[in-house]
Structure 1
Amino acid sequence: MNMIKPRNSIFSNIVTMTHRNLLKTLHNPDNISDVIMQPVIFTLLFGYLFGGAIAGSVQAYLPMLVPGILIQSILNAASGSGQQLREDINAGVFDRFKTLPISPIVPLAGQLVGDILRLLISGMMTLLTAFLMGWRPAVSLSTFIVVLLLAILIGWSISWVFALIGLMVKNAELIGSLSMIITLVMAFLSNAFIPTDTLPTFIQMLVKINPVSFAVTAIRNILKTGTWDANATMVLISGIIIILIFMPLSSFVYRKRG
């Protein structure tokens, strides 16, 4: 009697697709530079160029700068999700995936799960660079881990937003441009890099409603006090809500239009 070979589980298929996407990232200098070089360059540039002007010295500026650079770097890494998805779709790779005996959601999930490692590397490079510059917050290692995980959650939730953009916009270069504009506006129109009390009233209003400002404030408070507060809880809940909205929405659009 011939035995019918069962399908692989969705979990094992996602792991395989995640491995494939990580290899693609590692072999593409453009994809890896934004998670390794960008956090290092921005931390060094902002620290040494603006530290004296904003806070009086680099050491005094780092406690303010590091949370902002951490969120900005992770957002930048997350923004690559949509462009990479669209490049694969336009190249016909996803058409080949559709012929395989796997769940339709596996290719999309593999890309987004792989992004977690990209976000982790980006966050670690930011913290390592700041540490080498002399940043020494008086918190425990567990607090560092909590901060990094919270930042990764924020970035991963935004990855699903960029994934949806990648599924809806047909031009990969346009997606890259839109992603860059969105991340730059969100990062610089926030409290990530400068004190906001001297800004015009209208700009201060925009800064206060910017999600990046909430995330940066939460991480600053954790690194300063070593405790979890209401700001952090709000950021955590917001990230989960974004995932719960955009994960099924991206999955639906992928099945219909991918």
Structure 2
Amino acid sequence: MTTVTTGKDTRTTDALDFVAPKADELAALLVGESRPPRPSALSASLTFGWRAMLKIKHVPEQLFDVTAFPIMMVLMFTYLFGGALAGSVSEYIQFLLPGILVLSVVMITMYTGMSVNTDIEKGVFDRFRTLPIWRPAPMVGYLLGDVVRYLIASAVMLTVGMIIGYRPDGGAVGVLLGVALLLVFSFAFSWIWTMFGLLLRSEKSVTGVSMMVIFPLTFLSSVFVLPVTMPGWLQAFVNNNPVTHLADGVRGLMAGNWPAADLAWTLGWSAALVAVFGPVTMRLYNRR
């Protein structure tokens, strides 16, 4: 018998009541007969991609940068520069729309890093690391979710362009190939911003650094005008700018051509970006 005192009450009970259960008995209670299978890399990535979509559902204002912003960019640059650079809006839109499509989508890739940084500040990634999933799945999920945003932006801009006179000679196939090339490069380019999202301390820092990188790459390219109209020293940079290769590749595909050199450069840049910034991002993520 064992005497137990609780406050002013004293009672006796059998010592057997206090025998701790064995470890295997606890395991039997806490764990079922069979554990659920571990999710595959694809399944985990798609799940996190769906999570990114749900965030847009709850905060639809996030779609502003892929709807209102692209419309504003198309209309503003077409009617602002069309008459001065090409003599008419209808002629300039044939050259501008693929380029402005590239510029707008590449610019909104920076929001990937901002989203990553926000979740880190909230402590969400600490919970992700405790899950038995493929380690890069949260990062890949962010990027897959943003691919949907790029598709929305592309559809909006192409619709507006068609309304104001854009007519792609490559037809539907050329447009789809051009958008596919843009999505491949944007997915690879977004790895840079995931790295900055993990590396920098605040969302404002990510935005500032992203702008410093994106603005020279997008505006010092063939998005608005041909490089041959630029000074020689500037052409050296523009002609080797990955955004120039991307813009020329998308423009050529939508025009019904096959710009092999620009396609090779764009796909090569995409592979290099993933190969360099993918491992760096995951190293920072594991050490965060």
Q: Over residues 11-59 of structure 1, what are the superposed CA-to-partner deviations in whole Å (9 max), with x where a residue is unaligned?
A: 3222221111111134335532112222111001001111001101111
1:237 counterpart residue number: 268
Structure 2 residue aligned with 1:148: 179
Taking the aligned partners of 1:103 and 1:5, their CA distance within structure 2 comes to 17
Structure 2 counterparts to residues 79-158 of structure 1, below 5 A: 79-158=110-189
Partner of 1:55: 86
What stretches of structure 2 of length at least 5 have no aligned partner?
1-27
Instruction: Report SS of the residue matched to 1:197.
Output: helix
State which structure, 1 or 2, has the greater radius of gyration over its C-alpha atoms: 2
Return the match for 1:174 from 205, 214, 218. Answer: 205
TM-score normalised according to structure 1 size = 0.92
The farther-off stretch of 43-52 and 3-12 is 3-12
Greater shift, 77-86 or 12-21, is seen at 12-21
Of 199-208 and 165-174, the range deviating more from structure 2: 199-208
* Structure 1 equivalent of residue 250 of structure 2: 219
Query: 8 Å contact 2:56–2:62 — kept in the other structure?
Result: yes
Give me the whole-angstrom Cα distance separating, in 2, the residues matched to 1:16 and 1:220. 34
Deviation at 1:224, TM superposition (A): 2.6
State the number of aligned residues.
257
TM-score by length of 2: 0.83
Cα distance, 1:90 vs structure 2:
0.7
- Identical residues among aligned pairs (%): 32
**Counterpart amino acid of 2:117?**
R
Task: Give per-residue Cα distances to partners, 1:117-160, cap 9 Å, x unaligned.
Answer: 11111222221211111101222211111100001111111001
Q: Is this contact kept in 2: 1:81–1:163, CA < 8 A?
A: yes
- Over aligned residues, Cα RMSD in angstroms? 1.8
Q: Structure 2: how far apart are the matches of 1:184 and 1:191? A: 13
Q: Indicate the structure whose relative CO is greater, using CA pairs within 8 Å and at least 6 residues apart.
A: 1
- Supply the AA of the counterpart residue of 1:238: W
- 2:35 aligns to what SS in structure 1? coil
